[in-house]
Chains A and B, each alone.
Chain A
Amino acid sequence: MNEEDLISKKELLELTGISYGQLYRWKRKNLIPEDWFVRKSAFTGQETFFPRDKILQRIERIKNMKDGLSLDELADVFSPSSNVQSMSPENLLERNIVTRISLALFEEVAGSQETLSFNDILTVYVLQKLLQGGDMTRDEGRMLVAVMREHYGALDSKPCELALVRKMGVPLLFLAESAEHVYFDPEAKWIFRLPLAASMEELKLKLNETEA
């Protein structure tokens, strides 16, 4: 991580206007992950730093949402696991969380199912997002469903990224804990890199919203 990517605790508090008490409270409630607290020695002794973009974005989101949700509910939104266990396809369609087209594509690969687990819901949600965004073809969408069903469980709620690379028209889709340090030959082209944590947050908000 580069020096300029980090923000000191003091600077963070000045910039966002939150207090030490709030920061520590959010840390206790797991709204801010432990590994964002980076310790470094400074002239005053040990100082704590944070990854600048991630923490600013997270604090902005906490500040926006904390009036509507309790801290525990918020913690659930940001946690990499979910307490929504499963939902039926009809229910998902009814609540406008996924569209019929993406669900149909999912069922083409996975077969039709009575209830979808959270991971499956996430798969359909991501699938729909990427298809709608035009980042991905339907064939690649099938690959996505296969990859997610096969391997997402193995990542066991760790934050991970979904990435698509094409070389001479041949797609390669993969899941990685971090695609930060992957390099290809110049003919290969990154099509997209999608951190699943963000999609998961969106999805959980949608699930909670329509529940309430």
Chain B
Amino acid sequence: MERTEMRISGIGKSQGGCYSHVRVDGMAKISGNIDCISFDGNGTLTVEGALQSETVTVNGTATIEGRASANRMMLDGLVTIKDRAVCHETLTANGRLSIAGGLVGEKVEIFGSLKTGGGVQCEMFNVHGGFNIDGLLNAGMIDVKLSIPSKIKEIGGDAISVKRFKKISVLEQFVPAFSARLQAQVIEGDEIDLEYTEANIVRGNVVRIGKGCKIGRVEYKDRLIREDDATIEKAQQM
């Protein structure tokens, strides 16, 4: 099948379909599923269907009503996916990314915030900012630098590190609700290094509970390193 290019500059509307390259500068609405080789969106765009492409680049605002799948995604700005997302290689988001379903990827880098309605699964998970994940985060390397309040149900992986990104802001000194902390139910991994985290249960081989942590129960196999500032209700070596 011959694939043609789609280009919208200014304000436009289009049907979905199969294309080679899709480029939108301005404001566009695509009503239907779209399958292409590269997808470039600058401005405001809405895809009323699923989006499949080798690469997806967005600068500005984008809403995808269906499933999004790609090899590489670069999302700068405000992106909403109202279904699940799959990214086979690298997903980089600067700004705010919200996904109604789960996210499956290889390498996920977030500078800003990530919100998902399902679980997240990948090999590398790097966040500068924060996240709200309503499910399990299952990743090999998890490196989180918090700057906003974050929430998650469960974390599982090989190496898990949660730190604070910057010094405490003036605002959060007075309003504790704004402080950059992670709230989790269960965190399980081989090497765990936590700061400013509240969790019911932390289980691992080597566990470090650092500044500002409040942990209900720590179960560790080899070693528990505990800083003075940390609260641990119960610690148990397995």
Chain A interface residues toward B at CB < 8 A:
10, 14, 19-21, 23-25, 27-28, 44-46
Contact = CB atoms under 8 A, between A and B. Distances in A.
B109 to A, nearest CB: 18
A36 to B, nearest CB: 14
Given A24-B188, A44-B200, A45-B185, 15 more contacts: A10-B238, A19-B190, A19-B221, A20-B190, A20-B205, A23-B156, A24-B138, A25-B140, A25-B158, A27-B138, A28-B121, A28-B123, A28-B139, A44-B217, A46-B186
B157 A19 contact: no
Given A28-B121, A45-B200, A20 B189 contact: yes
Q: Which 8 A-B pairs have the closest CB atoms?
A: A21-B158, A21-B190, A24-B156, A20-B188, A19-B190, A24-B138, A45-B200, A20-B189
B205 A19 contact: yes
Interface in B210-238: 217, 219, 221, 238
A23 B188 CA distance: 10
Q: How large is the interface on B (under 10, 10 to 19, 20 to 34, 35 or more residues)?
A: 20 to 34
Nearest to B201: A44
B157 A21 contact: yes
Contacts of B41: none
A191 to B, nearest CB: 42
B186 A24 contact: no
Interface in B137-173: 138-140, 156-159
Contacts of A24: 138, 156-158, 188-189
B203 interface: yes
B186 to A, nearest CB: 7
Residue of A14, A20, A45 with most partner-chain B CB within 10 A: A20
A20 B190 CA distance: 6
Contacts of B201: 44-45
A189 to B, nearest CB: 45
15 contacts: A10-B219, A10-B238, A14-B238, A20-B156, A20-B157, A21-B157, A21-B159, A21-B190, A24-B156, A27-B138, A28-B139, A28-B140, A44-B217, A45-B185, A45-B200
B49 interface: no
Nearest to B190: A21
B204 interface: yes
B138 A46 contact: no
A115 to B, nearest CB: 28
Contacts of A10: 203, 219, 238
Nearest to A23: B156
Nearest to B200: A45
Interface in B25-75: none
A23 B203 CA distance: 13
Nearest to B156: A24
A20 B138 contact: no
A14 B200 CA distance: 21
Nearest to A24: B156
Nearest to A14: B238
Contacts of A27: 138, 156
Interface string B122-142: 010000000000000011100
A46 B201 CA distance: 10
Nearest to B158: A21
Contacts of B188: 20, 24
Contacts of B190: 19-21
A23 B138 CA distance: 10
Contacts of B123: 28
A45 B153 CA distance: 12
A61 B217 CA distance: 33
A28 B121 CA distance: 7
Contacts of A19: 190, 205, 221
